[in-house]
Amino acid sequence: MALKQYEFWFVVGSQDLYGDDVLRQVDEHSRVMVDAWNQDASIPGTVVWKPVVRNSEEIYSTLTAANQDPNCAGVITWMHTFSPSKMWIRGFNALQKPLLHVNTQFNRDIPWDKIDMDFMNLNQSAHGDREHGFITARMRLQHKVISGHWEDPNMRRRMAGWMRAAIGAYESRRLRVLRISDNMRDVAVTEGDKVEAHIKFGWQVDHYGVEDIIRMVDAVTESEVDAQMAEYQELYDIATDDIESVRYQAREEVALKKFLEEGKFGAFHTNFQDLQQLRQLPGLAAQDLMRQGYGFAGEGDWKTAALCRVMKLMTADCNGGTAFMEDYTYNFDPACGMNMGAHMLEVCPTVACEKPKIKVVPLGIGDREPPARLTFKAKKGPAILVTIIDMGDRFRMIVNDVECQEQEHEMPNLPVAAVLWKPLPSLETSAEAWIYAGGAHHSVISYDLTAEEMRDFAEIMNIEFIHIGKETEINSFRKELTWNDLIWKLR
Ligand code: MN
């Protein structure tokens, strides 16, 4: 239910030629479809029925009204009958919302013994949707096409996926990112053009000094810390005697949350090189804020923090888990090639398969007190890793399909949460492809999203999309990178 506030306008095209009776039936059919979609719990968002559009004026006024409606996250078109596409040019020229063209049909099967010319004239989306497809192709519209019967679970699953992408775009365009300090010194991949990110993704990325946070931390009261500690006690096992250190993280979390709420920020980053008088790098505090849906990344990585927020909002009705992640170390055992991801502290507890434990362990870098953090084993199952890099002339999103594995071995000396995954098509090919593509060591892992959904998001945002999956073959993959370089230079 969490995503029902996002509305998708279902706009069915036709023309006056058919007469009122046919158009009335078109409206009846589309109402039945909208009602059924809205009763399907697997479809995020609300599909909003609109009366059939018959001419250029109605199309233009409907699509510009969609632009103006603050709840509208996208437009879904369907040509039940034939809708001559010159009528769509003015409206499409004005459309600013993501567009999905569904090629479907009210009846599933041909009624063999009853079909006549009237039936065929009413149910001719095979015909009308091709005319519609010509104009979207001719106008080079950024859009998605999904074909399939409207009751088919696979068609609905793909439509739901596109809706998640459009919800991501909607939220991306109003996201504010809080930078606490700057990027980690000397690191390249976490840099990027913030003005271009604002233009392309809508991210307003603003910096504050660590002292601004410290003032908030110092102002937190003991009773606020107590309340935060009570939440920790409910959600986690406190597996340390060093309660003072845990209380300091609680103090940091209360301060950070106030800062985020007051500034309407959806994501933030820290930088362990610039903690000034902060006594601990936020570990538990960052983890618990991620659990609540805030985007986060370490070392000044505002791009990954923003991506983490967008992906969490795309899946606000799911419980698989979405987390900031970092490729850390390999298991090169030929029988079980795996990548182990973690971070120095900040792994989001939404990917835990057990109740997380709070521990206090010294941190080798950052030069501060030992920070409290959550440790846990992670879930198994299919997931994706997503990263965004700045190629200088464009943003590139890279997605790798992975299979997260059960952690069979204890790692008693490792004081952080870790996720183990087998990347597709194999550890070596996936790593080569990711490295050739320039993928960051930072990423966002999601057990709830698929590569197709992230491709839809990337296309809506007009950025490059690269997929590494079971079909990836390294030589053709390298050619794709070369061709993409040329294509994106021409854009
Ligand atoms: Mn890192």
Cα–ligand 1 centroid distance for 412 (angstroms): 22
Domains assigned to the chain: 7-172 (3.40.50.10940), 176-490 (no CATH)
b/e code 462-490 from CB counts within 10 Å (16+ = b): ebbbbbbbeebeeeebeebeeebeeeeee
Cα–ligand 1 centroid distance for 286 (angstroms): 13
Residue-level pLDDT at 491: 81
Counting Cα atoms < 13 Å in the Cβ hemisphere of 78 gives 31
Averaged pLDDT for residues 161-183:
98
Cα–ligand 1 centroid distance for 224 (angstroms): 30
The alpha-carbon radius of gyration of the chain (Å, integer) is 25
Cα–ligand 1 centroid distance for 325 (angstroms): 8
Nearest alpha-carbon partner for 309 in 238, 384, 222, 203: 203
Q: pLDDT confidence of 1, banded at 50, 70, 90?
A: low
Nearest alpha-carbon partner for 317 in 201, 163, 471, 443: 163
358 bridge partner residues: 238, 374
Contact 181, 190 (CB under 8 A): no
Cα–ligand 1 centroid distance for 264 (angstroms): 25
pLDDT in tens, 79-132: 999 999 999 999 999 999 999 999 999 999 999 999 999 999 999 999 999 999
Cα–ligand 1 centroid distance for 187 (angstroms): 10
Q: pLDDT confidence of 364, banded at 50, 70, 90?
A: confident
Averaged pLDDT for residues 358-362:
95
In degrees and rounded to multiples of 5, residue 181 shows phi and psi of 75, -160
pLDDT in tens, 304-334: 999 999 999 999 999 999 999 999 999 999 9
Tell me: cis bond preceding 425? Omega within 30 of 0 counts.
yes
| Rounded CA separation 339/328 (Å) | 7
Cα–ligand 1 centroid distance for 272 (angstroms): 10
Residue with tokens 């999956």: 469
Cα–ligand 1 centroid distance for 349 (angstroms): 17
Cα–ligand 1 centroid distance for 318 (angstroms): 26
Q: At what angle do helices 427-436 and 474-490 cross, to 10 degrees?
A: 20
46 bridge partner residues: 7
Cα–ligand 1 centroid distance for 242 (angstroms): 26
Cα–ligand 1 centroid distance for 326 (angstroms): 6
Cα–ligand 1 centroid distance for 454 (angstroms): 22
Cα–ligand 1 centroid distance for 51 (angstroms): 51
Cα–ligand 1 centroid distance for 328 (angstroms): 9
Residue-level pLDDT at 490: 85
Cα–ligand 1 centroid distance for 444 (angstroms): 12
Write out the two tokens for 414.
């490792």
Write out the two tokens for 159.
């439509």
| Rounded CA separation 37/41 (Å) | 8
Residue-level pLDDT at 366: 74
Cα–ligand 1 centroid distance for 442 (angstroms): 6
288 bridge partner residues: none
Cα–ligand 1 centroid distance for 46 (angstroms): 38
Cα–ligand 1 centroid distance for 117 (angstroms): 65
Cα–ligand 1 centroid distance for 346 (angstroms): 9
Rama region for 109: left / alpha / beta (φ>0; ψ in -120 to 50; rest): beta
pLDDT in tens, 271-296: 999 999 999 999 999 999 999 999 99
Cα–ligand 1 centroid distance for 448 (angstroms): 23
Cα–ligand 1 centroid distance for 173 (angstroms): 26
| Rounded CA separation 340/338 (Å) | 6
Residue-level pLDDT at 78: 98
pLDDT over 90 (residue 365): no
Cα–ligand 1 centroid distance for 414 (angstroms): 16
Cα–ligand 1 centroid distance for 188 (angstroms): 12
Instruction: Tally Cβ neighbours within 10 Å of residue 57.
Output: 12
Residue-level pLDDT at 441: 98
pLDDT in tens, 3-56: 999 999 999 999 999 999 999 999 999 999 999 999 999 999 999 999 999 999
> Would you say how long the chain is, in residues?
491
Nearest alpha-carbon partner for 431 in 477, 377, 463, 485: 477
Query: What is the average pLDDT score of the chain?
Result: 97
pLDDT in tens, 215-252: 999 999 999 999 999 999 999 999 999 999 999 999 99
pLDDT in tens, 366-415: 778 999 999 999 999 999 999 999 999 999 999 999 999 999 999 999 99
Cα–ligand 1 centroid distance for 364 (angstroms): 14
